[in-house]
Amino acid sequence: GSHNAVLSGMLAAEHVAEAIAGGRANDELASYEEAWRGSDIGKDLRKVRNVKPLWSRFGTIVGVGIGGLDMWLNTLFGFSPFGTLKHGKADYATLEPASKHQKIAYLKPDGVLTFDRLSSVFLSNTNHEENEPVHLIVGDMALQQRSEHDVFAGPSTRYCPAGVYEWVDKDGNAAADPSAKDVRFVINAQNCVHCKTCDIKDPNQNINWVPPQGGEGPVYQGM
């Protein structure tokens, strides 16, 4: 995964540089899509393209077993009896209103096998200037309150691995009651590890991740 991420970044840079050298601007780098699919990245990902759809469709035990068989056939013979499977719907569309579910009582991190999020963010050496423009753009803050908080009980506070998002009360404390009305949305963008989960998982697609200034963020090689 790390090697594919580096290679995709190198390919993107090459195609951007080519576009700039050709005097192009404000168009789509369609050649990049073709390039990564034809590269070692595309060949690597093609073998495993059906694993997660099979897992989601048939459950952990059966799905992983069939997924393993599918990878084996792809690796040895270059084909899959399933073709290319797709998920039934986008990830953000799988969220259901909080009223349909019981609140989960999460165990506190024990500091041995499980750790709190901010300690893990510290290990990632994430760095953003405190006063730089926020790179996590909320399109409609009223919609965020009306839907992400009031209907879905603020999942952004749980799906974000870096504790970027908080719903806080009038005193600035984390709102203990997900159904509390007198709250506001706080974005701690300096903690962001650029996983883009919020961009993908927000139920209204109301949060947009954009690159921060100066390429700032986690410094994983320092770990």
2-23 pLDDT, tens digit each:
899 899 999 999 999 999 999 9
Q: Check whether residue 190 and residue 148 sit in a common domain.
A: yes
CA–CA distance, 182 with 174 (Å, rounded to integer): 12
Could you read off the pLDDT of 155-188 as tens digits, one per residue? 999 999 999 999 998 877 777 666 677 899 999 9
- pLDDT given at position 125: 86
Considering the domain architecture, whether residues 215 and 113 belong to the same structural domain is answered as yes
Which pLDDT value is given to residue 31? 87
Final residue in a domain of this structure, among 88, 116, 142: 88
- Domain end call among 13, 28, 46: 46
The reply to whether 4 and 98 lie within a common domain is no
Residues 76 and 115 occupy one common structural domain: no
Which H or E run contains 183?
none
Examine the domain organization and report whether 156 and 65 are in the same domain: no
CA distance 108 to 67: 34
Q: Are residues 137 and 208 in the same domain?
A: yes
Count of CB atoms situated within 10 Å of the CB of 157? 19
The more confident residue out of 219 and 210 is: 210
The reply to whether 104 and 157 lie within a common domain is yes
Q: What's residue 100's pLDDT?
A: 95
Q: Kindly state the average pLDDT of the residues 93-119.
A: 90
Are residue 129 and residue 216 in the same domain, yes or no? Answer: yes
Classify burial at 47, counting beta carbons within 10 Å of its beta carbon; exposed 0-12, middle 13-18, buried 19 or more.
Answer: middle
**Domain count for the chain:** 3
- The model's pTM: 0.76
CATH of the domain at 128: 3.30.70.20
Q: How far apart are CA 86 and CA 54, in angstroms?
A: 9
Look up the domain containing 4 and give its range: 1-46
Q: Are residues 177 and 147 in the same domain?
A: yes
- 108 and 59, same structural domain? no
